[in-house]
Structure 1
């Protein structure tokens, strides 16, 4: 990392370190960008250069940006779909994201804000659509094909459930923890969710 990139990363963290205490003290909706800039001791122009909107302060580390679909498309065409999906899920987890403390702050702020919860749902929907299209292309089916839609939804659901499990983990809420272990715990949560769903698949309505 060059000096300029290092400085930019430090500035980003400085801004986040100022923003999250304000969100938790005053509420996300009530906190203004001007207050965040003042707390971080940076100009508002600098703040908007790094974070063009307030929701990017919270949602930025959670953005998937089509990573699952990109990874799925990069896999061999003759690879079993479930194996390619496993790589797609791992790709979403292995991209550097927020550390443990920041994850807990993000989770707490989202739980307090309906607008951020909606934004998170929109991100999942976008990623699901991209993955659904990648599945359809691989299998030569239309993108609205029921199998492709259900399979993409299931992959995204695994991520959602794993996030909930990780957030409820007593280890995560304890004081004896670190970022390296946290990455492993999230992957363990995904593995746990997948195994549980395989052992006891959800029931479909009988019509």
Structure 2
């Protein structure tokens, strides 16, 4: 992949406490290395705390609070998983309005593991082919998605993956999808 493949692209990463650390750090690193500018957007002020497989981990600085974040300032959205993170985000109206704005504007979105819980709440799952952590299969099907068990699925501007082991495929497909997002920033 070209190092400047995503040059000039602004990517929002929507998180709160309890995101799976590797599902944020590895995709963010890949996006940054491809030239994107990534920003952690959160309803929390200052810092968010990661979950590392079975226990709480380190904190990360919040770049933009959800109250200050505007979807029109970003070209694409990434949704890391972890059980706590999307479960908390999906009951916060501002977080759901922020995520929904990307789908409404036709901007690309990437969600891994439990991240599709957030997508369900935006109403953007119906008619999309998707994957996720296996426990979300019924939730996604009930929300109108065609759930499949594959490492990375791309459909109608959305990349989804199942788990941390899928991160290489998730990164590859996310960068490929996001590379077509230039100029979409102000579409919201």
Is the pair's TM-score, using the shorter chain for normalization, greater than 0.5? Answer: no
Higher helix share: 1
Higher strand share: 2
- The one of the two structures with greater contact order (alpha-carbon pairs below 8 A, sep at least 6) is 2
Q: TM-score, normalised by structure 2?
A: 0.30
Q: TM-score, normalised by structure 1?
A: 0.28
